[in-house]
Structure 1
Amino acid sequence: MSAPAAGSQRPTRANCQVMVNLQCSVLILTTHLKRKCQCRPEDCIDLLDETGTLMNLSKVENPASEYSSKYLREREHYILIRVIRDKNSEATSYESLLEDLEKHYPDLTDRLQQLSAKTQRRDQWRKGTSQRKAQPHISTQLRNKTTSKKKRGSEFKTPK
């Protein structure tokens, strides 16, 4: 696994590789990676495989009891990333902790941006649907009847 670099608050071990045993819980694995790569304990981290697939370890419901081997494959390389969740929305952005990601994996820089943009678009869509739900609902038939009555009334005005 390749690990941290630019952007973190603490000094990190840039471009280090760590071999891990996948027969442990997700919680133990992520705690170990944070310590080895000198991330802060409160940082939310995840892994990205070499094809750009997010492993979603940060979304595992019960990381203390789920085995890492359920999510990761043996003898594979993964890139450590920081998951940054916006407190005011459900938008999430991803930041590589591998120094010079574009040099080692040129396609993954774009992939991280796509993943970040995807969650922001999803959040905007959800906000839009909740706003639409908050508006009073008028059926199409009722709206059409109201409109046609107005038209009839304005078309057939009678002089006084």
Structure 2
Amino acid sequence: MFATVRFGADCQIMVNLLCCIQTLMSHLMWKCQCRPEDCIDLVDEKGSLMNLSQVEDPASEYASKYLQGRQRYILIRVVREENSEATSYESLLEDLGKHYPDLPDQLEQLSGKIPQTIQRKKSSLTTAQPQATPQTKSRALHSKRGLESKNNPK
């Protein structure tokens, strides 16, 4: 039972899921050249967090219990703030938006941040609504009268 993990500059490796989570995570950290103090995890292609970094006993739990065979996962870094309970997630796959357009926003949602695209959509909705001016009202009235005269000839 294998899965694919994507990371770096469009790199990917196949990993065996019939091993303990601790072994899998150690292998991923070594293969991806993470720092020893880094905390890593995986998200699937839909943006669901696998929470492998939260497993209570990673030395005895098998990865196959949490991950599905023949699936693709993206390696992420879990950053926990020291003075708060805030957690943020950073993709370790470069150009994540190029490969998975929705995932950057989903990682920001997981982090509790409002994605920039949603902020832009909200601001464009509030500013894009046309304001009725006397000139536009006058034009609308004239076009309405023109249609009435065409439909009701004298």
Q: TM-score, normalising length from structure 2?
A: 0.69
Corresponding residue of 2:96: 101
3-state SS, counterpart of residue 33 of structure 1: helix
What percent identity do the matched residue pairs reach?
70
Amino acid at match of 1:51: K
Deviation string 1:11-41 (CA, Å, 9 cap, x unpaired) is: xxx2210101000000000000010011112
**Quick check: 1:47 aligned with 2:42?**
yes
Count of aligned pairs between the two proteins: 109
1:2 match: 6
- Look up the SS of the partner of 2:88 in the other structure: strand
Q: Which residue number in structure 2 is paired with residue 83 of structure 1?
A: 78
RMSD, matched Cα = 0.9
Q: Name the amino acid aligned to 2:61.
A: E
Q: Residue 25 of structure 2: SS of its match in structure 1?
A: helix
Query: What is the alpha-carbon distance in structure 2 between the residues aligned to residue 15 and residue 43 of structure 1?
Result: 20
Structure with the higher fraction of residues in strand conformation? 2
**Distance in structure 2 (CA, Å) of the matches to 1:65 and 1:3:** 26
Q: Which runs of 4+ in 1 moved over 2 A?
A: none
Deviations 1:61-89 (A, max 9, x none): 00011000000000000000000000101
Extract unaligned runs of 5+ from structure 2.
114-154
Cα shift readout 1:125-154 (whole Å, capped 9, x = no counterpart): xxxxxxxxxxxxxxxxxxxxxxxxxxxxxx
| Consecutive unaligned residues in structure 1, runs of 5 or more | 5-13, 119-160
Instruction: State the AA in 2 paired with 1:50.
Output: E
Superposed CA deviations along residues 81-122 of structure 1, whole A, max 9, x for unmatched, are 00000010111000000000000001000000000017xxxx
Counterpart amino acid of residue 82 in structure 1: R
- The separation in 2 between residues aligned to 1:114 and 1:103, in whole angstroms, is 18
Equivalent residues in 2 for 1:72-151 (5 A)?
Answer: 72-117=67-112
Aligned partner letter, 1:64 = A
